[in-house]
Amino acid sequence: MGDKFIRAISTEEIAPGGMKTVDLAGREIVICNCGGTYYAIQRRCGHMNAPLELGTLDGKYVTCGMHCAQFDITTGQALSGPVPTDLGNERLPPRVAAMMQNVAMQMQHVRTECIRTYETKVEAGWVHVAQ
């Protein structure tokens, strides 16, 4: 194994459709098992930095668990931004409502960026990630 790749995780640790976080030399990386092919992506969502492994993986698409932004794990491309939420007819206490309004106003200015992907290879039952 050359210097380019770091041993990250055993293939047996991630079931198909699963994701797991590893810390590689200070980098937070999520390894995704997409039908037996392993992909490595940055852990932080390109929208508001939520940990992506707490979301869902469906095929090559990861959906963030916080605001449902979606990304393609093979390219890192941002596919959609946050899904708007609705509190229905629930009346919030005025101070909470004001805070929510402020958060909503600020969130309008948050862009959903593409996420970083890393080259991977499987060798001797281990997933290796490029440095």
Partner 1 sequence: MKTESRKEALQYFFEKVVGPMGFKFTPDFELKDFLLEQEVMLEAKHGIPFCPCQPIRRDRARDMQIVCPCIPFHREHFDAIKRCWCGLFVHKDVIDPNSLPQLPPKDVGLG
- For partner 1, the binding residues (CB under 8 A) are 58-59, 61, 70, 72, 75, 77-84, 86, 88, 112
Q: What is the amino acid identity at position 113?
A: E
CB of 13 to partner 1, least distance (A): 26
Q: Which is nearer to partner 1, 51 or 82 (CB)?
A: 82
CB of 126 to partner 1, least distance (A): 30
CB of 112 to partner 1, least distance (A): 7
Residue 100's Cα: distance from chain center in Å? 25
3-state secondary structure 3-69: CCEEEEEEHHHCCCCCEEEEEECCEEEEEEEECCEEEEEECECCCCCCEHHHCEEECCEEECCCCCC
Q: Which is nearer to partner 1, 53 or 72 (CB)?
A: 72
Record the tokens describing residue 127, joined without a space.
């997933």
Q: Which is nearer to partner 1, 58 or 123 (CB)?
A: 58
